[in-house]
């Protein structure tokens, strides 16, 4: 078993897209979404009303999760839910959601959205009511396939 940690942080420019590079590629296989940690710039007053974020992960140009794997009522395709408390600087949530993920390449593109799953949720460090970083943790079970595919 391998832990895949995706650390998504602001780049100095407000954007809802992050590109990460991981040292290995993984073929289509089962993975488990284990944990998320959201760091937020809490405002002095008037809290945000969003209580969930969504992330769309693409590895190698294709969605990491298929529409069939992530059924939701957003109508925008396969997006991963991320728990979020707009009154806390840090929200940590545990999950145990098992997926059949498609091939994950060394480059992973992640887009973040507000609770409607359509409106972009930018990552930014310097202003109130913004997400500073999001950490996503996954377990990859078949390490032999991952190492062979390296």
Question: What is the widest separation between alpha-carbon atoms in the chain?
Answer: 52
Pick 2-148's CATH classification: 3.40.50, 2.60.120, 3.10.20, 3.30.70.
2.60.120
Is the pLDDT reported for residue 149 higher than 80?
Answer: no
20-52 pLDDT, tens digit each? 888 877 777 788 899 999 998 877 666 666 788
* Closest listed residue to residue 91, CA positions, set 57, 47, 126: 47
For residue 35, the number of C-alpha atoms closer than 13 Å in the C-beta half-sphere is: 10
Q: What is the pLDDT of residue 150?
A: 47
Write down the domain spans for the chain. 2-148
**pLDDT reading at 90 higher than 90:** yes
The sign of the torsion formed by the CA atoms of 29, 35, 41, 43 equals positive
Whole-prediction pTM: 0.82
């Amino acid at each position: 078993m391998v832990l895949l940690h995706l650390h998504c942080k602001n780049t100095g420019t407000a954007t809802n897209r992050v590109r990460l590079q991981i040292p290995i590629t993984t073929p289509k296989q089962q993975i488990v979404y284990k944990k998320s940690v959201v760091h937020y710039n809490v405002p002095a007053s008037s809290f945000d009303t969003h209580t969930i974020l969504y992330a769309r992960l693409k590895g190698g140009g294709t969605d990491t999760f298929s529409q069939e794997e992530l059924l939701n009522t957003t109508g925008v395709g396969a997006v991963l839910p991320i728990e979020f408390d707009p009154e806390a600087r840090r929200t940590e949530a545990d999950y145990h959601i098992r997926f059949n993920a498609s091939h994950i390449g060394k480059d992973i593109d992640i887009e973040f959205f507000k609770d409607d799953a359509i409106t972009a949720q930018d990552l930014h460090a310097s202003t109130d009511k913004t997400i500073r970083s999001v950490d996503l943790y996954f377990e990859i079970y078949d390490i032999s396939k991952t190492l062979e595919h390296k």
